Structure 1
Amino acid sequence: MLTRDIELNDAILDLVDNCVDGAMRQRKGKLDEPMPFKGFQANLVLSQNHFHVSDNCGGIPKDYIDDAFSLGRPNIKKDGDLPTIGMYGIGMKRAIFKIGNSASVQSNSSDGFFEVKYTSEWLDPENDKWDLPISRSNGKDDNLGVTIDVDNVKPDIGRQFENEAFINALKNEISEHFGYLMQRGFSITVNKEPLKPKTLILFNAAHSDDSDIRAFDFEAIHDEVSIKVTIGLFRGLAKEAEIDDETDSPKEKETAGISVVCNDRVILLSDRTLKSGWGDGTVPRYHPQFRAIAGLIIFSSNNAEKLPISTTKRGLDVGSEIYLLARKATMEGLKTFTDFTNKWKGMEDETAAYFEPAKRADVKTTISLAKAYGISVRGVDGAKKYIPKLPLPANKNPRRRVSFVRDDQSIRQISKYLFDDSSQHPSIVGGECFDRVLAEATKK
């Protein structure tokens, strides 16, 4: 029952998240430093018959042992003064139950060593003995951390661990979901390969009174939670040919959309739905023409209970007051850049001159326009927002998209007739047809 509502990759991400919590306990009082997690690491090894994760993040403190191995955490306030999100205490157990039929957990902390073994007999659903023996002793060695070994991987899980596509997808997810922690020094390896962080980079020209490509930025503190919302352009505007290609064959993964970060962990990645404000009110639904727009909602708090997250640490409580406040700012940022995209529709090439001087900036570590230049937000005490002055097209005669569908053979036939080449892109063929008819109409 505990494993039914969690995916395998989520279970593994939970284990990595627990390693991070340990590092945070070790760095208590120093988390405001630029690189507080330098030297801390988590190492994962996955194969058909064996799963291993180990860290050097201090181990599980003696006072946490009973809570760590009970089902559910009785005292969710033990890390109340740390910016963690592991408030439900079921990640490690749920992951172990998901992955294997037997496992061992060893923890070596400054106040003692212990080991717990989940045997196949104990995990048997027919077993009615719930007591879980814990072997305790004095410190084992100087390597303070946790090691989890699953030596009896379930067959269906083992097949996934042998699948190169699954491993590559897992590496990518770890780099994305823990990118902001890795950016601050935490390192992660999968099958001995060091992973690189993936974080959001936007075009952001230096602040001035001139029109330029800059981000929308919002900052506030509400109910013990710091909120930052930044929306902007991570690439040049999509041209008609790209829009056609994306409409015909949508790409599964792309930076476009809104990501949500809670205490440096990515909870929602590149969302393009109503959840993050797309298609609500005056904000249009996501369309491939908006594929240059991306943004980040960042929540930070030492009180994990205040964050809008679910038990998997991956889902959002989208109805919470704190999330709705951030979503409202997100919608304003989305409207700013969807309007910009629509105004330059059909003239995307002309925006290139504005992207050239705009430097690419890391959203979380570099962009702070609201704090430095923002205006106060009505109805939200202490909140500030920065609305960029974006360039407008000088052409007073607005352009409109002409779009229609014809069979491939006919398009190739006309392409051959016009260009002596049957392989021209449909948008090029259509544009040439329009221009020729326009030239004839103008003469008459």
Structure 2
Amino acid sequence: MKTMIANASPTKELFMEMFIRDLSLEDSILDLVDNSIDSLIKNKNIDVTDALLPGGNDGTSKAIHPLAVIEINYEPGRFRIRDSCGGISVEDAVNEVFRFGHSDDVVRGQLGVYGIGLKRAIFKIGNEIMIQSRTINDGFNMRIFVPEWAKNPNWTFPLEVTEKAENYETAGTVITIKSFRPEVAARMRVVTFESHLIEMIARTYGLFLNKYVAVAVNGHKVEPKVIRFGCSDLVNVAKEEITEGNVKATIYAGLAARDEDGAWQAAEAGWYVACNGRLVVVADKAQLTGWGTGATPQFVGKYRGFIGIVFFHSRDPLELPWTTTKRGLNQESLIFQRVRTRMAVVGRPVITFLNNMYSSEETERAPQREVAETIKPLDVRTMTGHLPTAFMTKVKPIIDEYVRVQYNAKRVDIERVRKSLHKSDLAASKVGKYTFDYYLKKECPQ
């Protein structure tokens, strides 16, 4: 019997076309931001498991000084991202960073998961790529002309070793990309692209911005958009912690902070999920986070005051339930399945409160409204030192002044009263009210 070997080697065409097909330009740029922040984490020995949300006296950790900087600039024909996050060493560049996937013994960063983000991002954006990186020990330059590289059967990128950075402040990486793919060039010409990108960065890296790093897009500084709960002496925020293996999950659920007009915004409501501090799910109101699955009702307008967030942390990012694009969750993940069950339990009292508050869907009932009117915005980072607890409110009980009185009477007797009052068309209920009031006046005078 003759034995042969089937060729299963990948083609570069598969990578360049299929691997990047479902990746948006915005997600490509976020992958490059991840790469910069991961360099910062490695070079500054930051452990996001402990440092992003510590329970200090003020609930937040001290920022690093000076802040690392990430500058994103684009114009027709050129995209550039520059950072001062410490740079990529020549050793890492040769052995790890430009591999398609991680080697078994590599020490991973805490945002880099699969070893594909940087390569996929730069190939998505354009065909002429220049990478310059300097650490305090060495540096390198790399040029990639994608059409030529695609023809070369070798999966390698040549690089030139250069001088090191002068100091920590100048250590970093610059990636310049030209000759855009047609869909990228078209997307960048959209008037709202810049504002949308800024919004995504503000959301995704809200826990990093102005604490570890400052980001600017075309010269516009990105301010963090931090998730805020509503809290007061009358209402708290629920908290539950779950640990499974090397993954720790912390669940928070409560009422959202109200806007300047004292209203809840439905667009901000729902569940948020972060993995190692990076937001991967924003204001979800669908089955992904349990809405409409039985344990939690379908999201409707009266739940616009609900907000919840889950923080997944692990020193090994592969154990976290994020997807390759880091814009969703792997629903097959065992830790996520377990946590989603607890999300329904932790959030249920908040849903009950809102059901009671909007029993008619339109008007707010007074006891719940009084609680909601007392809440003040609370940054989620200030709650990390709190002990786990259930959602609780101090709602004043309704003391109803009225009791419904009903009784039966003979028709002939009702007609006698109508005749006495000279009101032949008086409703039976009015007859009952009249006779009740008459008895109070005559027999029970105050």
Match of 2:227, as an amino acid? Answer: L
Match of 1:186 in 2: 213
1:213 matched to 2:235: yes
Instruction: Tell me which amino acid in the other structure corresponds to 1:205.
Output: S
Please report how far the alpha carbon of residue 288 of structure 1 lies from its aligned counterpart in structure 2 after TM superposition.
Answer: 1.5
- Asked if structure 1 preserves the Cα contact closer than 8 Å seen for 2:246 and 2:314, the reply is yes
Partner in structure 2 of residue 337 of structure 1: 350
Q: Greater CA radius of gyration, 1 or 2? A: 2
Instruction: Note if 1:78 corresponds to 2:91.
Output: no
Aligned-partner Cα distance in 1 for 2:428–2:32: 68
Alignment deviations for residues 303-352 of structure 1 (CA, whole Å, 9 cap, x no partner): 21221122223331223222123212211133211211111224416234
Aligned-partner residue type, residue 89 of structure 2? P
Q: d(CA) in 2 for partners of 1:153 and 1:281? A: 47
For 2:274 and 2:430, locate their aligned partners in 1 and report how far apart those are by CA, in whole Å. 59
* Distance (Å, rounded) in 1 between the aligned partners of 2:44 and 2:400: 58
TM (norm. structure 2) is 0.76
Q: Whole-Å Cα distance in 1 between the matches of residues 341 and 210 of structure 2?
A: 28
CA distance, structure 1, for counterparts of residue 400 and residue 384 of structure 2: 33
Partner of 2:171: 144
Check whether the contact 2:90–2:161 (CA below 8 A) recurs between aligned residues. Answer: no
Q: Which residue of 2 aligns with 1:391?
A: 395
More off after superposition, 92-101 vs 212-221 = 212-221
Asked if residue 135 in structure 1 is aligned to residue 160 in structure 2, the reply is yes
Q: Which residue of 1 aligns with 2:287?
A: 274
| Identity value in percent | 26
In the superposition, relative to structure 1, how do residues 442 and 24 fare at CA in structure 2: closer, same or farther (>3 Å)? farther
| Aligned partner of 2:249 among 227, 230, 238 | 227
- Is the counterpart of residue 348 in structure 1 residue 364 in structure 2? yes
How does the TM-score come out when normalised to structure 1? 0.76
Q: For 1:12-411, list aligned pairs within 5 A.
A: 12-28=29-45, 32=51, 33-36=61-64, 38-66=66-94, 67-75=96-104, 77-79=106-108, 84-123=110-149, 125-139=150-164, 141-142=166-167, 143-182=170-209, 184-206=211-233, 212-235=234-257, 254-345=267-358, 346=360, 347-348=363-364, 350=366, 351-366=368-383, 368-369=385-386, 371=387, 374=388, 385-389=389-393, 391=395, 394=398
Cα 1:443/1:99, change in 2 over 3 Å = farther
Q: Which amino acid in structure 2 is aligned with residue 218 of structure 1?
A: E
Residue 273 of structure 2 contacts residue 280 of structure 2 at CA under 8 Å; is this kept in 1?
Answer: yes
Question: Stretches of 4+ moved more than 6 A in 1?
Answer: none
Count of residues in Structure 1 that have an aligned counterpart in Structure 2:
369
Q: Distance between the aligned counterparts of 1:77 and 1:221, measured in 2?
A: 25
**In structure 2, what is the Cα distance between the partners aligned to 1:38 and 1:305?**
30
Matched with 1:422 is none
Whole-angstrom CA distance in 1 between matches of 2:47 and 2:326: 24
Cα-Cα RMSD = 2.8
Measured in 2, the distance between the counterparts of 1:48 and 1:200 equals: 35
Q: For 1:16 and 1:235, how far apart are their aligned partners in 2?
A: 29
Partner of 2:72, secondary structure, is strand
The gaps in structure 1 that reach 5 residues or longer are 207-211, 375-384, 398-439
Q: Residue type of the partner of 1:330?
A: M
Q: Does the aligned pair in 1 maintain the 2:114–2:318 contact within 8 Å? A: no
SS in 2 for 1:102: strand
